[in-house]
Every structure is written in structure tokens, then in C-alpha cells.
Copies of this chain bind each other. A is one copy, B any other.
Amino acid sequence: MTIHIGVVGTGMIGQDHIRRITDVVTGADVVAVADVDFDRAEEVASGINARALPTGHDVINDSLVDAVVVTSWGPTHAEYVLAAIEAGKYVFCEKPLATTAEDCLRIIEAEQAFGRRLVQVGFMRRYDAGYRSMKRVIDGGEIGSPLVMHCAHRNRTVPESYHSEMAVQDTAVHEIDTVRWLLDDEIVSAQVIKPRKTTKRFEHLQDPQIMLFETASGARIDLEVFVNCQYGYDIQCETVGETGVVRLPDPADVWLRSSAQLRTNVLQGWEQRFAAAFDLEFVEWVASMHDGRLAGPSAWDGYAAAVITDATTEALHSGRVVAVTLKDRPAFYGS
């Protein structure tokens, strides 16, 4: 049985997920798409023998659509996710789940009212082989209780439209989810430190930033976000426990000895770095729908990310330590 998917938003990431569902994932296909740019929707649809519909709501409510992928503009996410829940359909929503914590709460309430999980949020790092191996090491007790994490998130460059808050909302949000998941712990406060700005930047942008997080159990995380590091896309993560330290590997490529150096390539984009993770994310999402039990990042994780990024953004502006105040976690979302 094939799961028929409708995609709302056919921009770059939407098209990439459509290609993934079409070419990589078995057991699912894309049958309907919509976009604010209807011509683009039609062009994408024609390439995969799907229908372009006038609006996202038309896609969500289409009788042939079993599940929805939301890859539209962030501010529209909540509306479409809520519509999908109302239609009783599974919905995969790219981050952010919603642009405000309030909207995330509305989604959580709607999902609970529906009675079982329908929503998955696109935190793809949980599907990366390296992070999964790190989680096995931590969960297996191989480093003892985690005390400290050191993270770095570096991009080669960002466009001029990228502003300082996006370092939190769009960039650090990945580490925020990853930390919560790896440590099985909740972030309770945030602080942002502003190093001297790189001169290889746009004047308006605070880059790099050092973000500091504290968890409920007292673990401390430092995260360097540096989105104009010039040399490549580089994700580093190290967890320090009571008896050992576990570290993500650098991606493996051939080693070259020439011209007095030993060297290997650094990847240049997140598309390459997390290509396999994106694939697995959709493979497992489709498999979990076939099983009838979602297992990926939940609406609660989307809500927590929203509250934590809000606190971190406030910390960026205030220079102070900002407490994260989450609602009590409903039993519906596990412990």
C-alpha cells in the first residue's frame, strides 16, 4: 500500500523532499502539491505526474492525500499543521513547527484532542549516523552521566538577508533539538556571548555567537554559531561525561598526501553533510506511518524548540541569562 502525500510549499526544500519521496523512499508517492507561486507548483507537479492545487488547504483536504508535508514559508506552518490535524492526517512539518510558542501550543492541544500523534517536525539530525552512534554511547553509559557539551555549527557563508536572530532561530535550533534528544534532558536557561564580529560579514550581523545553555539536570552546553567561517560547513559536537568523552567524527573522505601536506576535503553545504540523514528521516517517517506509530520529533519537541529559541533570542538582545519556561509536559508526549 502506497501512502499518497501532498506537499504544501514547493520551494527549494519542498522540491528536495518531493525528489526524496519520489526517488529514494519506497512505499510513498507525491500526488498533490500547492505553492503561493502556482506556476512553480504546476511545474513541479508536472515533473512527477502529480496535481497542482490552488491552495495548501486544497492539498490537505484532498481525498487522495493520506499525509501532508509542510514546507511552505515559516509563518504559514501553524495554519497548515492545524488544518492537517483537523483533517485527521499525518503531517510532517519542516522546522519551525510555528513561529510563536502560542501557535505551537495550539497545535499540541489540537493533536491531543485528536487523540494520537499526527505531527512530526523536521529535525533531521536525529537521523544522522554519527549523532545516533553518540546517542547509543551516551544511553549505554559508556561515558557516565553527561556534564558538558561543546558544539560548533559553522556555515561557509550566509546571504545578506540572514540577520542576527536567525543564528538562533534557523541555525542553533538544530543543536537545541539535538542536545535535548541526546541528553534526554530539558534546557532551562540560555545566555548569548558576542565575540568580535568577523569582518568577512555584513555589517548588521553578529557573527560568530557563543550560546550557553543549562539543562534541568545541570549539564552545560556551549555552542559556537559561526555562519561565515569561509572554509566550509562544519558540525562539531562533543559530550563530556563523568567517565569519558564522545565526539562526532568528521565526515570520511580520502586522504591525500601531496605538496608537503596531508589533507582531506571539508564539505561545503548542509545538503551534503546531512543528505543521508534527510533520506533516513523520510524513510522512517513513511515506515512509521505504515506502522501507525509516529516515532520522530514530536509537536512537543517543536514547542520546546520554539520556547528555547525565544529565550535565546531574548538573551541575544539583553546580554543576560534568560530562563526557559515550558508548560508541563503532557503524558501524551511521553516522559
Contacts and interface: CB of A to CB of B under 8 A. Distances in A.
A291 to B, nearest CB: 14
Nearest to A226: B240
B254 A252 contact: no
A143 B256 contact: yes
Contacts of A226: 147-148, 240
A150 B150 contact: yes
A145 B199 contact: yes
Interface string A285-324: 0000000000000000000000000000000000000000
Interface in A254-295: 254-266, 268, 276
Question: Which size class do A's interface residues fall under?
Answer: 35 or more
A40 interface: no
B250 A262 contact: yes
B231 A218 contact: no
A53 interface: no
A246 interface: yes
Contact of A230 (B142, B244, B268): B244
A258 B240 contact: no
Interface stretch (A18-26, A56-64, A69-77, A165-173): A18-26
A210 B24 contact: no
Given A143-B256, A252-B252, A242 B200 contact: yes
Contacts of A259: 231, 244
Interface in A198-242: 198-200, 208, 210, 212, 217-220, 222, 224, 226, 229-232, 234, 240, 242
Nearest to A237: B254
A11 interface: no
A212 B222 CA distance: 10
A145 B240 CA distance: 29
A125 to B, nearest CB: 14
Counting from the closest, the 3 A-B pairs by CB-CB distance are A196-B218, A244-B258, A263-B263
14 contacts: A25-B26, A129-B253, A142-B258, A145-B196, A150-B150, A193-B212, A196-B217, A210-B222, A230-B243, A230-B244, A243-B258, A246-B254, A249-B253, A262-B266
